Amino acid sequence: MSASRLYLDWNATAPLSQAARAAFVAALDFSGNPSSVHAEGRVARAALEKARRQVAALAGRDQAHVIFTSGATEAANLVLTPDFRMGRSPLKVGHLYVSAIEHPAIREGGRFPASQVSEIPVSAAGIIDLDALSDLLRSHDAASGVPMVAVMLANNETGIIQPVAEVAALVGAAGGLTVVDAVQGAGRLDLAIAKDADFLILSSHKIGGPKGIGALIVKGETLMPAPLVRGGGQEKGHRSGTENFPAIVGFGAAAEEAAGEIDSRAAQLAHLRDRLEEGLRQAAPDVIIHGADQSRLANTSFFSLPGLKSETGQIAFDLEGIAVSAGSACSSGRVGESHVLSAMGFDPKLGAIRLSIGPTTSPEDVERAISAFGRIAGRRRMSGAA
């Protein structure tokens, strides 16, 4: 076995692409502030606006509708608020509805008080229950303000793709607002499927860009949330503070690269994922691959091996020289029970491991992961755990 490390945790963060690295490094030499009116500032502004166009193109939106933030979590906290403006007039959002499988950045409810946040159940297949959503929207108290629904395009643990077009249609008919967390779907799916969403959330480091930069992309400029970060009025007053210029430029380069390779990457990754899961089943016939019969991201495999705890499995892979995860990487290093599996009706004590691959993952890497899993499963059998 190769002594080198193998990285199979692309859903947590994608390695920095060469295009993003080159753009980021080049941007470090720009001396001007993008808000300055002198020549140096105008050069920096032009590069920043190019990145805005690149990110907008990935999302299929207008560049004027891209607001740069420090990441997806900040973008979520910016948009998840009861306080909006429709032009010059205030607009109140009375209640936030989030699916039971959302990322913690959404599940926490942003700036809504806990009493104004309700959960939308999902089916055993891990898909948002549209009938339950319809019931919630019908019972929504219109006097409190319009409803807001926040759902993810693709689940970060299972990779299962959610019916965001149907969600947006239901919410629109109820006069509400739809927020789509497109963090995992960006660069892996055509974001046109979320074209009717009022707001999209993106993260740079999930598509091979720098960490510490993300975006909230709005459908139009008339309806906007109250600012979260106030100050000098950057980003048209929606997100003040001097822009993280090198990271934004790197984000733009990564977005442009990802946009041009979505279809070819998906075909390549689906082939590798299918071989990976075939090998997992051969090594341990009782392995449970979550969402295997659903439409999923091509790069994601989330599985459980009865008798193997998440933390034990993650450490076992790490000792094999392979980086994997037990789900979301945004919980301060904690390895706990998966709220996603619990929402799908599985025993919350059932451990699970996520392997997520990327454009540089090779067939040899997949075979190495299968071999490592075989050894881990073998040790489980010898210990009498199964």
Please name the residues in contact with 105: beta carbons below 8 A apart, sequence gap of 6 or more.
Answer: 72, 73, 76, 77, 181, 330
Residue 131 structure tokens: 């009938």
Q: How far is CA 204 from CA 54, 59, 264, in A?
A: 12, 13, 20
Block residue for tokens 């959960």: 119
Angstrom CA distances, 270 to 187, 299, 300, 364, 370, stand at 14, 6, 9, 15, 16
Residue matched to tokens 């959002």: 93
According to DSSP, the β-strands at 177-181 and 146-152 are parallel
Query: Which residues 6+ apart lie within 8 Å of 375 measured at CB?
Result: 320
352 three-state secondary structure:
coil
- The span from the CA of 354 to the CA of 376, in Å, is 15
Cβ 106 vs Cβ 181: under 8 Å:
yes
Could you tell me which of 110, 79, 116 has the C-alpha nearest to residue 224?
79
Q: Residue 38's CB: how many other CB atoms inside 10 A?
A: 9
If residue 340 lies in a helix (H) or strand (E), which one and from where to where? Answer: helix 339-343
Are 204 and 214 in contact by the 8 Å Cβ rule? The answer is: yes
Task: State how far Cα 129 lies from the chain centre.
Answer: 20
Beta pairing partners, 215: 68, 202
Instruction: Write out the two tokens for 238.
Output: 């929606």
Identify the three-state secondary structure at position 386.
Answer: coil
β-pairing verdict for 66-69 and 223-225: unpaired
> Residue 209 catalytic?
no
What distance in Å separates the CA atoms of residue 216 and residue 105, rounded to the nearest whole number? 13
Indicate if the alpha-carbon torsion angle 129, 130, 135, 137 is positive or negative: positive
**Annotated active-site residue in 132, 330, 370, 385:** 330
Give me the active site residues, please: 330
